[in-house]
Structure 1
């Protein structure tokens, strides 16, 4: 199955990934933009780089659902949904923190736990805690939440003997509270996003209740609010 993967929880990432029923997941082509404030402008050219002008065969779409700031996350979700609708194919959503967790557990092995922390701006982080669920999925133990780095560290007892390994860009921003493990990923890998979708589709087919919806995870209200309607004079 060929899956078009998009994630705009940080920068903009687009990839075409081959996920055979058996065997290794392979990224066929990928492209990324690093500006976290220009998602809407960058997605179309990135998709053209990945798919070509002919828009070659795609069987499904996978999209990161955040958590992330409103504008960038919305751009990715709307693009994924529009592309899938135009092709008549399914679109599957995965929490972007789940992807980073699976990447980290691939490095660490399946016995430990990880705390994924990413930049939420406003001197806060988005975070969630995980352990492995088989070789290709994760179980979320806490979160996702948006708090200060200090609060995230306290909630997960990072000074304790059984503290999880910290993963993600939040650790680089707030090292006094969130000290990252060595060699840990900082951005979601599209191949791992596709792996999670494949694993969850298999679990769904086996009768499990799995989460693949595309509802955005904003965790807070957008920075820009529409003005309230004026009150009518009595």
Structure 2
């Protein structure tokens, strides 16, 4: 199953092309009971990223084309699209979700939305295999972070939620989370409040997004509406009614 992955939840715009084996493909060519030669179910054929907080719309489709070219495929080869739903800023998320939906409509392919923090967590679990609870942290702006917590088995324990760095420790204590490490592009914002291990993100986000959507992809679940995780109102607001200079 050939998949396109898209994420615009942070200043880093990501597009990837991923191959996901179906269950019967995992068994092909192996004797019954032989687990020594199980193939890797997920292969990232190509991933392209660029960091630019103000150019999601300009950068995303060129990255999609670059990733497809590097993988040796074209848009008609895609069987599904997986898009990160955030949390993230309104404008960035809107670009990723709208692009994914447009591509899905044009190709007649399903579009599956997953939490971007879930994708980061699964990418980390795939590459590092942590032994304790860990945090995923991204920049929420307005002097806050978007915070999620996961167990070593991948279960989400907290969030995602916008949290002021000074309140993070108390929020986690209230939720009963005792993390031993944290990952994500926002970890520097919590360095003073939560001194703990900060392993590098060595995995690719594309594999994590596909892992988060794998069950739905493999079972043929019809994806629901794509609902971005804005978590709060955008900075821009509709203007109110004009006040008369003549008074009431």
TM bucket (normalised to shorter chain) is 0.7 to 0.9
2:114 to 89, 94, 101: 94
User: What does 1:39-58 correspond to in 2, within 5 Å?
Assistant: 39-52=56-69, 54-58=74-78
Of stretches 196-205 and 116-125 in structure 1, the one that deviates more from structure 2 is 196-205
Note if contact 1:94-1:211 (Cα within 8 Å) is conserved in structure 2. no
Q: How far apart, in 1, do the equivalents of 2:89 and 2:79 lie?
A: 29
1:116 paired to 2:136: yes
Instruction: Write the mapping of 1:184-199 to structure 2, written as runs, cut at 5 A.
Output: 184-185=200-201, 189-199=205-215
Matches within 5 A, 1:1-234: 1-10=1-10, 11-21=12-22, 22=26, 23-24=39-40, 25-52=42-69, 54-107=74-127, 109=129, 112-133=132-153, 138-157=154-173, 162-185=178-201, 189-202=205-218, 214-230=226-242
Q: Distance in 2 between matches of 1:212 and 1:184?
A: 33
Compared CA separation, residues 50 and 105, structure 1 to 2 (3 A): closer
Of 105-114 and 166-175, deviating more is: 105-114
Q: 1:189 to 1:212 in 2, by over 3 A?
A: farther
Deviation of 1:32 (Å): 1.2
Aligned-residue Cα RMSD (Å) equals: 3.0
Q: Tell which structure's C-alpha radius of gyration is larger.
A: 2
How far, CA to CA, are the matches of 1:145 and 1:195 in structure 2? 22
Deviation at 1:2, TM superposition (A): 0.8
Secondary structure, aligned partner of 1:156: helix
CA distance in 2, matches of 1:114, 1:67: 18
CA distance in 2 between partners of 1:90 and 1:231 (Å): 48
| TM-score normalised per structure 2 | 0.79
After superposition, the Cα gap between the structure-2 partners of 1:20 and 1:155, relative to the gap in structure 1 and judged at 3 Å, is same
Paired residues, number: 225
Gapped regions of structure 1 (runs ≥ 5): none
Q: Structure 2: which 5+ runs fail to align?
A: 27-38
- Comparing 86-95 with 164-173, greater Cα deviation is found at 164-173
Classify the secondary structure of the residue corresponding to 1:43: helix
